[in-house]
Amino acid sequence: MDLIAQETGTKAMSRGCDTTDADQVSAAATALRAEFGPADVMVNNAGIVGSGGPLESISRESWQRVLDVNVTGHLLCTQEFGADMLERGSGSIVHVSSICGVNPLPNAGAYSPSKAAVSMLSRQLASEWATRGVRHTPLTADYYSNPSIRKPREQLVPAGRIGVPEDVADAFVWLTIPLSSYVTGQQILNRRRPRSGRSAHAADSDEHHRRLRRVAAITP
């Protein structure tokens, strides 16, 4: 966070938070308001894979833990941070899903069902809040860099390469600025063709950072 603040010339704050605990989420929102004012945008990014395994033998505890973090946590953060957006009549919330919520990953426990639920949660919220000026978008992340499994994953992607973190960051930025103001409730599958260097809108990051002064980024 300090590095981001130095590079962009803005203020930044980090805070640990268990997103399954409503009191901790409320405390985080209060701290953000005190430092920056109400959030303009939020990225619901907290998620876990869990212990995995086939559904026929998954324990109740393992199933519930993944749903608590991946789904209920998104709802709690949306309720707390989104309340300010509803009062103001504007805002954008991005909910991070996964390609595994579209194409199920066998023997991954509750992960695929939870990510499918994230997408539907976002779409329902988009329908309920659309006339009140607050957008919700489920961002379905594709395969991303992991050195230990890079080659096998590259073979699954038509473009022949898997993404890098900047690919996801670019999508976040676009979904939270006025250029995407007509987009809500549309599931975005973040899969791209190969490119060299930074994208055009990433190169214009200074303007993006000026617009994104108050961001509530919810992470594990």
Cβ–Cβ < 8 Å for 78, 93: yes
Kindly name the residue from 111, 143, 144, 182 that is annotated as catalytic. Answer: 111
Alpha-carbon Rg for the chain in angstroms = 18
Using DSSP's 3-state secondary structure scheme, residue 43 falls into strand
Q: What are phi and psi of 16, to 5 degrees?
A: -70, 145
DSSP assigned state of 19: T
> Would you call 111 a catalytic residue per the annotation?
yes
Residue 216 CA, chain-centre distance (Å), reads 11
d(CA 49, CA 41): 25
Using DSSP's 3-state secondary structure scheme, residue 11 falls into coil
Helices (H) and strands (E) in the chain, counts: 9, 5
In this structure, which long-range contacts are made by residues 121-130, counting pairs with CB atoms below 8 Å and at least 24 apart in sequence? 121/71, 121/74, 121/75, 121/95, 122/74, 122/93, 122/95, 122/97, 122/185, 122/187, 123/185, 123/187, 125/78, 125/82, 125/93, 126/184, 126/185, 127/185, 129/82, 129/86, 130/184, 130/185
Catalytic residue ranges: 111
